Structure 1
Amino acid sequence: MSTLSLLAQHVTRRPQRIALLEQIAEQGSITRAAKAAGMSYKAAWDAIDELNNLAEQPLVARSVGGKGGGGARLTSAGERLLQLHQRLQAIQAEVLQAADNDADLRLLGRLMLRTSARNQLGGRVRAIQPQGGNDLIGIELPGGSLIQAQITRSSTAHLQLQPGVSVMVLLKAGWLQLSALEQQPEPGLNALEGTIEQIIPEADGPCEVRIALPNGQTLCAQASAEQLTRQGLALGAPVRTQFAASHVLLGTQA
């Protein structure tokens, strides 16, 4: 199954995401689109990050700040996805009519993947290297960046992983370590470099730091205001994000 098909399934289960894409195409503004779709501004950013991270090409192109809280437009990939969703709606109506009872639909709902992980990135298995009782899974992200996940051999078999298989990479925000590029990276950890796109202070905890990767994907990390100041990490600054292979969770479509 292609990445576009997997993504179409993902957004079909979240009609509010589709409504947001439709409003972005119409409004050209994240703030106005969020309001029209019944979402908060922050939820709209989260939704755009999630969709862009799952796609091989960004669906929404954004510009931070300015009138209306920042401009936004659909890319050609986003326009194709909207067109595909319109076709899927007709097919979905046929499926609902074919279901014998509500129990069938409830079962389908339980089979759909939901996760508490803040970061969800689409990727593809590039290599599998045995490592004791575990496997080290090499994953290529859109744009060519490589990361590794360490999972048990039974998990590799259960997920039916092999080179070329599409996977969803799950990372909790608290697992990401931030540092300035001039600092030496910590050996043995995955490393992705990007630019700090947003810093959202939290009243009762660490700041939420959004990091734009060169491939159009976005990471969300957590860091205290003191840590950011100490390392010289401010809005627009380049930053390195590191995380252990054992902290990378993988998912596939059943």
Structure 2
Amino acid sequence: MPTLSLLAQHVTRRPQRMALLEQIAEQGSITRAAKAAGMSYKAAWDAIDELNNLADQPLVTRSVGGKGGGGARLTPSGERLLHLHQRLQAIQTEVLQAADDDADLQLLGRLMLRTSARNQLSGRVRAIQPQGGNDLIDIELPGEVAIQAQITRSSTAHLQLQPGVALLVLIKAGWLQLSAVSEEHDPALNALLGHIEQIQVEADGPSEVRIGLPNGQTLCAQAPAEQLSDLGLVVGSPVRAQFAASQVLLGTQV
């Protein structure tokens, strides 16, 4: 079992995403900020997408290319969050110093959530519709974008869902079905419209497609290169991402 001092050092170490925010504020460059935060350029872009997706308003604005590999700056919301994080760090240090038992800190660590789902979006419950033994949850994403999730009635009760409750919306990249905006879509599926910002071709698997939504959030999808070619989808193309309500996972803060 680690000593209290070692565990305290681990817990108080700045999360890498927040360290990236600090470096973006100082450097004004994604490339330089990523290097200073100990991240790859791609990991930095992914982190920025996650931060913007989890916030009601974008925390970072960015531009592609140019000197230094692309500029970036914090929005007023990002500056407020960074300031709050710095204040929380000081408070956290005091709390950890007051801990009497390593077990208390280990329990706190287990309560911190990490998930394998690539798409993590902030949202809010708009309405709940009973549907047999399940509930259909109407969700509003930033920018008044609406989607639905289908969960069991017991899950609704467990998460204590009601209109107005803030949600973490999780969607696996492999669950997104891509199509051209001009094609007809299945009205039974959720549909989010955006444009393709980046396609990363993988030699031994599906391509990773980064999709920018009008509300500033970003989706990550997976699709075979042949499918993208058949659909005429390239960087800059408008695209529709579809997924079933049953493929939307929900989380709330305890």
TM-score with structure 1 length normalisation? 0.93
Determine whether 1:95 maps to 2:99. no
d(CA) in 1 for partners of 2:228, 2:63: 23
Give the aligned residue type for 1:160: Q
SS in 1 for 2:86: helix
d(CA) in 2 for partners of 1:146, 1:128: 13
String of CA shifts for 1:35-74, please: whole Å, max 9, x gaps: 1100011111111111100000000001122232211111
SS in 1 for 2:233: coil
- Name 1:107's counterpart in structure 2: 107
Give the aligned residue type for 1:106: Q
- Name 1:70's counterpart in structure 2: 70
- Name 2:165's counterpart in structure 1: 165
Structure 2 counterparts to residues 78-227 of structure 1, below 5 A: 78-227=78-227
Structure 2 residue runs of 5 or longer lacking an equivalent are: 1-11
Give the aligned residue type for 1:168: L
Moved more, 95-104 or 214-223: 95-104
What is the alpha-carbon root mean square deviation over aligned residues?
Answer: 1.1
- Name 2:61's counterpart in structure 1: 61
- Name 2:48's counterpart in structure 1: 48
String of CA shifts for 1:63-101, please: whole Å, max 9, x gaps: 122232211111110001111111111110111012111
d(CA) in 2 for partners of 1:87, 1:15: 14
- Name 1:30's counterpart in structure 2: 30
d(CA) in 2 for partners of 1:85, 1:61: 19
d(CA) in 2 for partners of 1:14, 1:177: 36
d(CA) in 2 for partners of 1:60, 1:43: 15
Deviation at 1:14, TM superposition (A): 5.9
d(CA) in 2 for partners of 1:179, 1:149: 21
- Name 1:248's counterpart in structure 2: 248
SS in 2 for 1:128: strand
Moved more, 25-34 or 170-179: 25-34
d(CA) in 2 for partners of 1:106, 1:78: 30
TM-score with structure 2 length normalisation? 0.93
SS in 1 for 2:49: helix
Give the aligned residue type for 2:138: G
String of CA shifts for 1:209-253, please: whole Å, max 9, x gaps: 000001110000001111111111110111111000000000001
Count, aligned residues = 243
Deviation at 1:174, TM superposition (A): 0.1
SS in 2 for 1:64: coil
Give the aligned residue type for 1:29: S
d(CA) in 2 for partners of 1:240, 1:37: 34
